[in-house]
Amino acid sequence: MRRLVTDTLVIAERNLVRLPRAPELLLAFTVQPIMFVLLFRYVFGGAIKTPGYSYADFLIPGIIVQNIAFGGFVTALGLNEDLHKGLIDRFRSLPMARPAVLAGRTSADVVTNALSATILVITGLLIGFSFHTSVWEAIAGFGLLLVFGYAFSWVFAFLGMLVSTPEAANSVGFIAVFPLTFISSAFVPVQSMPEPLRAFAEVNPFTITVDAMRSLWLGAPAHNNVWGALVWAVAIIAVFAPLAVARYRTAAGG
């Protein structure tokens, strides 16, 4: 167990140290989310009705959750690249704790997620978003965001270990994440969707998490969504972490 912790930290450090040296990765965490915020706020925002809230208030919790899901691509691509470059083989030949390579990667993601969420909130504050709740609830919202992001990192870790090429990771991830994030309450109220989509959107963990974020940041009624979001996050980890580690154990490089 001690080895698991130290090995995980070593790998997490590796992933963070290399980040500033790969400018294309850093762009994915900084400029890209800002672009999305501006796009939605000013291109679509005028046409979307969000009763009770300004679109800036409505958008920021949604786009921040979506952004975290998209940020996971970097995890899938990074792990897949490690696989192809033989790094996973090297790690697997070392006497290190088996889950550490993936746990280190997903832990490092928490830091990058915090970074890009902060950038998004600042951008949001500049375009008219404001917190309507107490500092504690705002902080709790951040915490929930990072838990959800951590859970999603495991989904992408599994994807990265599963597919044969980075290109495949990209397209499979895209096909999965795009509908999940867009058929949710992230950008529009689900009431505006046709019935089948609406039914999907209402049970979509993205909707549940986004609604929980809105309740923590805007004071919107969330019913049980904060707990619902946490349960989803734990369930996703419980399913995908063992799957990803199992793939890692048998992964073949090259």
Partner 1 sequence: MPAGSDRSTVDTLNAADLARDSGAAAVSAHGLVKSYGSVRALAGVDLEVPTATVLGLLGPNGAGKTTIIRILTTLLKPDAGSAQVDGLDVVRDAAKLRERIGLAGQYAAVDENLTGLENLTMVGRLYGEKRAAAKRRGEELLERFELLEAANRPTKTYSGGMRRRLDLAAALVASPPVLFLDEPTTGLDPRSRLQLWETIEGLVAEGTTVLLTTQNLDEADRLASEISVIDQGRVIAGGSPDDLKDRVGGERLEIRLADAAQGEVALGALASMTDDPPSAEGDLVRVGVRRRDGAIVEAVRRLDRAGIGVQDITLRRPTLDDVFLALTGHGAESGEADLQDAA
Is 129 near partner 1 (CB under 8 A)? no
Is 246 near partner 1 (CB under 8 A)? no
Stretch that binds partner 1, among 33-41, 88-96, 190-198, 231-239 (CB under 8 A): 88-96
Is 132 near partner 1 (CB under 8 A)? no
Shortest distance in whole angstroms from residue 26 CB to partner 1:
11
Which among 239, 189, 209 is positioned nearest to 48, based on CA atoms? 189
Is 168 near partner 1 (CB under 8 A)? no
**Both ends of the chain: CA-CA distance in Å?**
30
Residue position matching structure tokens 């270990």: 161
Is 91 near partner 1 (CB under 8 A)? yes
Count Cβ atoms below 10 Å from residue 4 Cβ, excluding itself: 15
Shortest distance in whole angstroms from residue 138 CB to partner 1:
34
Q: Burial of 253 by CB count in 10 Å (0-12 exposed, 13-18 middle, 19+ buried)?
A: middle
Beta-carbon contacts of 175 under 8 Å, excluding residues fewer than 6 positions away, are none
Among positive and negative, which fits the CA dihedral 137, 143, 144, 149?
Answer: positive
Q: Quote the tokens at residue 176.
A: 């999965």
Stretch that binds partner 1, among 3-11, 34-42, 122-130, 224-232 (CB under 8 A): 3-11
Give the residue, chosen from 4, 92, 202, 243, that forms a contact with partner 1 under the rule CB under 8 A: 92
Count Cβ atoms below 10 Å from residue 226 Cβ, excluding itself: 20
Q: Quote the tokens at residue 38.
A: 């501006």
Is 29 near partner 1 (CB under 8 A)? no
Q: Which is nearer to partner 1, 26 or 239 (CB)?
A: 26
Shortest distance in whole angstroms from residue 97 CB to partner 1:
9
Which residues of the shown chain bind partner 1 in the complex (CB under 8 A)? 3, 6-7, 10, 13-14, 17-18, 21-22, 84-87, 89-96, 100, 252-254
